[in-house]
Amino acid sequence: MTQASREIVRGHIVIVDDDELFSESVSRNLTDAGYAPRAFSDGASVLAYLGENPEADIILLDWKMPGMTGIDVLQQLRRDKIDIPVIFLTVLSDQVYEEAGLLGGAVDFIEKSRNFSILLRRIELILGGRKTPEARAGIVSHGKLALDHDSHRAAWRGTQLGLTLTEFKIVAMLADSGGRDVSYREIYDIVHGEGFVAGDGEIGYRTNVRAFIKRIRQKFRDIDGTFTAIQNYPGFGYRWNDGET
């Protein structure tokens, strides 16, 4: 990379992996792509770093590590209110691990055997911050739901929901759709980009969307045990209907 290109950093990427050779390879490729990587070999060290100096736009997190596992690290990050997007990197391809990672708050799940170009594309999509079909600004109310499109914060009945950026985008899309049925594909595309498919088979992305929706619903129910506004249209997707919008 030239001196001129080094002065323009596309983003700061934190890598957490106990495989030194893998981390070195990913770091080198990220540097060549214009990013500034920083590698850690264990969960404790990255938590200490992010607790004092959270200079990271995205975290690439190994699932299986000695001591703290990747999911342990992710859970601690969220408890510490560190909401940096996390991509799990793993040799585990079973769908149950993917769903567990997404339910834990990760935004993606990539097998280590995939080419770096796949990882790079997903990083670009996540950091690119794809907008919902209608870009909004300011605070928009939908009955008991208030969406602040400037800060990407949402409140239900006046209580903050603590949604991640990805979760906010999904809730905003559903609420802004005015009761229209929104397909699994539409929801997935605002998170990962049009045409991207994950999971098992051509409709595998539905598993990812269900995992996001399950986690979002739980955050609403933690505030309001009677919450039912996110309704399922079996085989198609979801709709927002709280009876007031």
Pick the last residue of a domain from 102, 128, 154.
128
Q: Quick one: pLDDT at residue 102?
A: 59
Domain containing residue 89: CATH number: 3.40.50.2300
165 domain-assigned: yes
> 99 and 195, same structural domain?
no
155 domain-assigned: yes
> 162 and 96, same structural domain?
no
Domain containing residue 163: CATH number: 1.10.10.10
Task: Report CA 197 to chain centroid distance, whole Å.
Answer: 15
> 154 and 83, same structural domain?
no
> 192 and 145, same structural domain?
yes
Q: Quick one: pLDDT at residue 2?
A: 38
Q: Tokens 């957490």 — which residue? A: 16
Q: Any residues with CB less than 8 A from the CB of 120 and at least 6 apart, and which?
A: 29, 30, 33
> 83 and 8, same structural domain?
yes
Q: Which domain holds residue 95?
A: 3-128
Domains identified in the chain, total number: 2
245 domain-assigned: no
> 115 and 18, same structural domain?
yes
231 domain-assigned: yes
> 145 and 230, same structural domain?
yes
Q: Quick one: pLDDT at residue 3?
A: 39
Q: Tokens 């990882």 — which residue? A: 119
> 148 and 32, same structural domain?
no
133 domain-assigned: no
Q: Quick one: pLDDT at residue 45?
A: 93
CA nearest to 187, candidates 200, 168, 202: 168
**b/e 36-72 (16+ beta carbons within 10 angstroms → b):** bbebbbbbeebbebbeeeeebbbbbbbbebeebebbe
Q: Quote the pTM value.
A: 0.53
Q: What is the mean pLDDT of each run of 10 residues along the chain (245 residues)?
A: 49 92 94 92 92 82 86 85 81 56 64 82 70 57 88 89 85 86 83 54 70 91 94 89 71
> 105 and 198, same structural domain?
no
- The first and second tokens of residue 90, run together, are 């793993």
107 domain-assigned: yes
- The first and second tokens of residue 103, run together, are 């339910």
Pick the last residue of a domain from 128, 163, 192.
128
Q: What share of the chain is helix, strand, coil (3-state, %, to 5)?
A: 40, 20, 40
55 domain-assigned: yes
> 124 and 8, same structural domain?
yes
Q: Quick one: pLDDT at residue 119?
A: 85
Kind of pairing, strands 145-148 and 108-111?
Answer: unpaired
Pick the last residue of a domain from 128, 154, 184.
128
134 domain-assigned: no
> 170 and 124, same structural domain?
no
> 103 and 9, same structural domain?
yes
CA distance 179 to 148: 19
Q: What is the identity of the amino acid at 56?
A: A
